[in-house]
Amino acid sequence: MTEFPSLDRRAFLGAAAAAALAPAAARAFAAPDPPFRISLAEWSFHRAIAAGKLDARDFAPVAKRDFGIEAVEHVNTFFKDKAGDFAYLADMKKRADDAGVRSLLIMIDGEGELADADDERRRRAIENHFRWIAAAKFLGCHSIRVNAGGGGTREEQAARAAESLHRLGDMGETYGIDVIVENHGGASSNGAWLAGVMKAAAHRRVGTLPDFGNFRVDANEEYDRYKGVAELMPFARAVSAKSYDFDERSGNETTIDYPRMVKIVLDAGYRGHLGIEYEGNRLSEPDGIRATQALLVRIRDGQAGR
């Protein structure tokens, strides 16, 4: 019979204690969670997709392969007729899953105005968004991003937008999908106005997607972007890190104070993804994405331990 070496009681208890403490020690020395994670918005590739150089189904794999980014935000206009095409969506999902990339949301444009003064057009706009809620659920997203445009006075638009958003929130509740509004021109680029719409909508599935750059209300009004983001952050379910151009020496964005903006986001308690949305013209789309990513990483690493 094989003889095993003996182990005295003291050594046995010491080994057992070390084994019990190992998981706690590992937790104690584990790296802390980052203050935010980085995702990539498909609009950053709008020129490449429009030119036929990138298939929307390959966006997620490219995000991982070329940039090491593992979360993406889709744009419906790049697969506008595919909302109910579940074979197409299954292919898109498989390519993302195979690359290890998570789909966070779909940005919805061109489906009608949710604050339209015409009741019938507004009803159709609301219903047009239903299929995108289903598509978002199928892709594994947490939200769809919508717009809150329409006609009439700002007070009238706010009332209609809030009603439409509440109805969409009810549909979102059925699917487990949030309905979030971006500051995206017109009244929605007024942070106080959109915050008021959120309060009037009063639905747990309705929130905002603050965008660092979209604060042009009209030709005569540019809303303070830092004030606007601060007003929208209490309702935020996602954040769009818009960028246009960069200083070649410092790597800083030339039109937006990124450290100030990220501080506003984190001070609001947000710990989700910041989605790169490069919209500049001087740099190529890939280079603009990389410049935005490098800046966010630099800020994030500087924020570690706050």
The predicted structure's pLDDT at residue 100: 98
In CATH, what number is assigned to the domain containing residue 283? 3.20.20.150
Q: How far apart are CA 159 and CA 152, in angstroms?
A: 11
Residue 89 placed within a domain: yes
Q: Does pTM top 0.85 for this prediction?
A: yes
The domain tally of the chain equals 1
Residue 9 placed within a domain: no
Residue 70 placed within a domain: yes
Place of tokens 């924020």: 303
pLDDT tens track, the chain, 306 positions: 433 333 444 443 344 444 444 454 444 556 678 999 999 999 999 999 999 999 999 999 999 999 999 999 999 999 999 999 999 999 999 999 999 999 999 999 999 999 999 999 999 999 999 999 999 999 999 999 999 999 899 999 999 999 999 999 999 999 999 999 999 999 999 999 999 999 999 999 999 999 999 999 999 999 999 999 999 999 999 999 999 999 999 999 999 999 999 999 999 999 999 999 999 999 999 999 999 999 999 999 985 333
Residue 30 placed within a domain: no
The predicted structure's pLDDT at residue 32: 76
- Domain range spanning residue 268? 36-303
